Amino acid sequence: MRLTEELKKSSINIWEKIYRHPFVVELYRGVLPIDKFKFYVIQDYNFLIGMTKAFSLVAAKSRDYELIREALTLAYGDVTIEMENYIKLLDKLGLKLEDIIKTEPSPTNYAYVNHVLVTCSLGSPLECLVSTLPCFWTYLEIAEHNKGLVKENKNKIYLDWINTYLSKEYRELTMKLIDIVDRMWKNEEIDVLKRIFIISSRYEYLFWDMAYNLENWMIK
């Protein structure tokens, strides 16, 4: 069994709860309150920047030219293609990037990004990529599991967002990351990698929950 299959198996109970989270289900049906979606989009900026830094750390720590190239390609995609799509979404929602940059990350957002960056700073390149994988992979799985719900969806903003994760390009990007993780696995202890993957999977669930409940700091 490939490493990524073992990792997915370790977190499948969490993933199944992600597929059924109210935020996800209501988004795919087109009935999610727009304030919850805006909150999610605003918070997503911090995560997008964090992922860019994570892939840059992989490149900085690696001596493998091919891995450096692939990691920088992922980082570059985050700050170009992803950011361009993000800005377009902001325009549709009547939001401005300069205002979002000033927004403080919610507790869950802050913790998730720090989990990834600490893993990437102190761990191996493989451990770093494993920490990022649940984000890419669960979004692909969410789309596959809930695509039947879009027949009820009349919200063009939501449909445009959903179609990104149903696209051939997104599938290819995710499968590329899965392939890189499988190719890199050599002597690392699988229990350590599973632990990292499970924590990131938990945070994926919590990120949806954060947005659905408009999470904020309990004390300021």
Burial tier of 86 (Cβ tally within 10 Å: 0-12, 13-18, 19+): middle
Confirm if 5 and 178 have CB atoms less than 8 A apart: no
Instruction: For residue 141, indicate whether it is catalytic.
Output: no
CA angle 196, 199, 201 (to 5 degrees): 110
Long-range contacts, 60-63 (Cβ 8 Å, 24+): 61/120, 61/124, 61/125, 61/128, 62/125
Pair 193, 187: CB distance under 8 Å: no
Do residues 101 and 170 lie in contact, with contact meaning Cβ atoms separated by under 8 Å?
no
Q: Note the maximum CA span of the chain.
A: 49
Q: Which of 70, 127, 128, 135 is catalytic?
A: 135
Quote the CA–CA distance of 89 and 145 in Å, as a whole number. 24
Task: Look up 127 and say whether it is catalytic.
Answer: no
Active site residues: 135, 204
